[in-house]
Amino acid sequence: MKWIGLAGLAVIALLAWGGVVKRTTAVGLREERDGLRSFNVTATATPLDGLALGLGYLSEPGDSRRNQTGALWGTLSLGDATVEAEYMHALARERFWNTSTEALLRENLEEQTLAVGLAYKLLPDLKVAGRYEHFWDDGLGSKAGVWSTEGRFSLGGAYTLLKREGFTVQGLVEYRGTDIERPNGSAAINWRNELLGRLSISYE
């Protein structure tokens, strides 16, 4: 399973909606002086046939403290079905800059993410999948007064259009619904619908 531990998973969601929470380096208040750049360490194990487990640690330069994220994940394959789960937790975070108040948020907010997914090979050339993700922003959205993502679920399918000697063409369709946590007093919508499509061409 792929995972990412960026400096503020919740901040990414906040930037997508409000655009007012930024890293201090992004607004010119600080330059990166940390000699040790970003790095991550991962370990995986397969204790049983069809079961894969993993953990990871990521560290990035931050303002006065490094941004650190831990992750755990697992994948279980049962015939044509695959179940996966992933949990990420911010172990340490720098303080963020709120452009609406022109001040640093006082708290070091440490967010969490939990995701579960199920994929099934319905036909030889058709795979369907669903995934749900839940976000805890540790109060960042309410303290900054902007929207944040609370939960998201996706349903999709991939159909193999052509396969010839390592050359594969697939068509993919995905519906994504996002539950948005609004600031107090906001009359904005609290649900977002998206329909995504992609044509994938790969060669092995």
Helix/strand/coil for 17: helix
Q: What are phi and psi of 69, to 5 degrees?
A: -135, 135
For residue 164, pLDDT over 50 is answered with yes
Q: What are phi and psi of 129, to 5 degrees?
A: -155, 155
pLDDT-based confidence at 63, cuts 50/70/90? Answer: confident
**What is the arithmetic mean of pLDDT over 67-78?**
94
* pLDDT score recorded for residue 33: 60
Q: What angle do CA 5, 183, 187 make, to 5 degrees?
A: 130
For residue 11, pLDDT over 60 is answered with no
Q: What are phi and psi of 100, to 5 degrees?
A: -75, -30
pLDDT-based confidence at 13, cuts 50/70/90? Answer: very low
Lowest mean pLDDT among 45-49, 83-87, 180-184: 180-184
Question: How is domain 9-203 classified at the architecture level of CATH?
Answer: Beta Barrel (2.40)
For residue 12, pLDDT over 50 is answered with no
Domain boundaries, the chain: 9-203
- For residue 58, what are the CA distances in angstroms to 66, 102, 108, 174, 190? 10, 29, 17, 29, 32
**Rounded CA gap, 56 and 16, in Å?**
26
- For residue 124, what are the CA distances in angstroms to 28, 75, 160, 164, 184? 53, 21, 9, 15, 49
**Rounded CA gap, 3 and 135, in Å?**
15
* pLDDT score recorded for residue 30: 64
- Label the pairing between strands 126-136 and 148-164: antiparallel
